[in-house]
Amino acid sequence: MFSPIKGKYKDKLYELCQLNDSEPTKKKDFCRLYHEARKETFKPSNYETAFKKAGLVPFDPQSVINRPEVIKQPPQPREPQPDDLPPCIYDAKALEKDLYHLDKERGACDTHGED
């Protein structure tokens, strides 16, 4: 539904660039061009086509489900590979030191501002 307006807006922008010697687009130009593109693009026939393609009018969810681009079965989760796993800490002394510093910092945060 929005693809046609995107194309129409690009056309309008190209026309403006031809007239303005490729100057940067101003906010007021953006709004005006978008409004023109929207008026030219959003028509009842476009709504009908979009709703039909989405299986909404007439209601036909099977038409969407049967499209070739719809995945019929969800992908199966794969087993984690060794490269996917986070690194392990093998140095118990380093771990103990890190925990000590974290506890010390947390203790400083807990007592901060309690005077």
Task: Identify the pLDDT of residue 95.
Answer: 81
Q: Do the Cβ atoms of 37 and 5 come closer than 8 Å? A: yes
Task: Identify the pLDDT of residue 17.
Answer: 84
Angstrom distance (rounded) from CA 12 to CA 21: 14
Angstrom distance (rounded) from CA 79 to CA 97: 34
Q: pLDDT digit string (tens) for 61-115? A: 998 888 888 877 777 887 777 666 666 656 778 888 888 888 888 876 655 555 4
Q: How far is CA 99 from the centre of its chain?
A: 39
Q: Do the Cβ atoms of 63 and 55 come closer than 8 Å? A: yes
Model's pTM, two decimal places? 0.46
What is the residue extent of each domain of the chain? 3-65, 82-111
